[in-house]
């Protein structure tokens, strides 16, 4: 998987160039363009961004996430069109912070040796562990998915279902043993 003669699939660069041309992701105080990440192997991304907040800085991230342009664009859409309306309907207030469990990381799928590279290896994926509301209340996937109150369970399932209209891969508890505590979102081009 890490052989130097392998190349990143062309669709990755094409998707990034199209996103950059749309100018929907702009460098700001909370979305900073970073240096190209090249390797190891085919891991990396041409025009990475270091992201500390989404949706015009209305939703903080608990940690700086390195993502590509299409992923930031999709995350902004998901927060704006899915997460916030559902949070307001279920809790009467918006989400103020998303707790990320990881973005860019050169590693195999599920961190299992022998698997092909994860979309995390290209800044094309993020793992969401929980949410903090404007009043400070929080919900985590590991607790809220099965043991939360009815509003928490409904919120988490509805935002996961809504993610399926934006992202090409959405994995949540019940998908497999590796996603018991988070929702994985990515923009893999399946079949390429």
Residue 39 token pair = 């390797």
Q: Which residues pair with 65 in a beta bridge?
A: 51
Specify the pLDDT at position 7: 84
Confidence of residue 192 (pLDDT cuts 50, 70, 90): low
Determine which helix (DSSP H) or strand (DSSP E) holds 73, and give its type and residue range: helix 69-78
Q: Specify whether the CB–CB gap between 142 and 162 falls below 8 A.
A: no
Confidence of residue 25 (pLDDT cuts 50, 70, 90): very high
Joined tokens for residue 115: 């698997």
**Is the pTM for the entire model greater than 0.75?**
yes
Backbone angles phi, psi at 51, to 5 degrees: -115, 130
Tokens (6 digits) for 114 = 């022998």
Identify whether the C-beta of residue 179 lies closer than 8 Å to the C-beta of residue 171: yes
Assess whether the previous peptide bond of 127 is cis (omega < 30° from 0). Answer: no
- What are the Cα distances from residue 24, in Å, to 45, 52, 94, 142, 159? 18, 17, 22, 32, 22
Q: Would the pLDDT of 1 be above 50?
A: no
């Amino acid at each position: 998987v890490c052989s130097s003669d392998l190349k990143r699939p062309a669709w990755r660069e094409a998707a990034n160039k199209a996103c950059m041309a749309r100018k929907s992701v702009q460098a700001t105080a909370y979305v900073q363009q970073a240096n190209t990440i090249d390797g190891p192997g085919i891991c990396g991304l041409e025009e990475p961004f270091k992201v500390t907040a989404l949706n015009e800085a209305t939703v903080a991230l608990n940690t700086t996430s390195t993502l590509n342009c299409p992923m930031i664009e999709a995350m902004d859409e998901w927060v704006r069109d899915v997460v916030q309306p559902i949070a307001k309907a279920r809790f009467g207030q918006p989400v103020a912070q998303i707790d990320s469990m990881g973005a860019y990381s050169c590693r195999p799928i599920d961190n299992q040796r022998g698997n092909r590279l994860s979309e995390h290896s290209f800044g094309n994926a993020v793992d969401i562990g929980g949410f903090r509301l404007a009043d400070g209340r929080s919900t985590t996937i590991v607790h809220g998915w099965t043991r939360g109150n009815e509003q928490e369970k409904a919120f988490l399932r509805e935002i996961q279902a809504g993610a399926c209209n934006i992202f090409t891969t959405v994995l949540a508890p019940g998908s497999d043993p590796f996603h018991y505590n988070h929702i994985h979102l990515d923009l893999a081009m399946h079949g390429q």
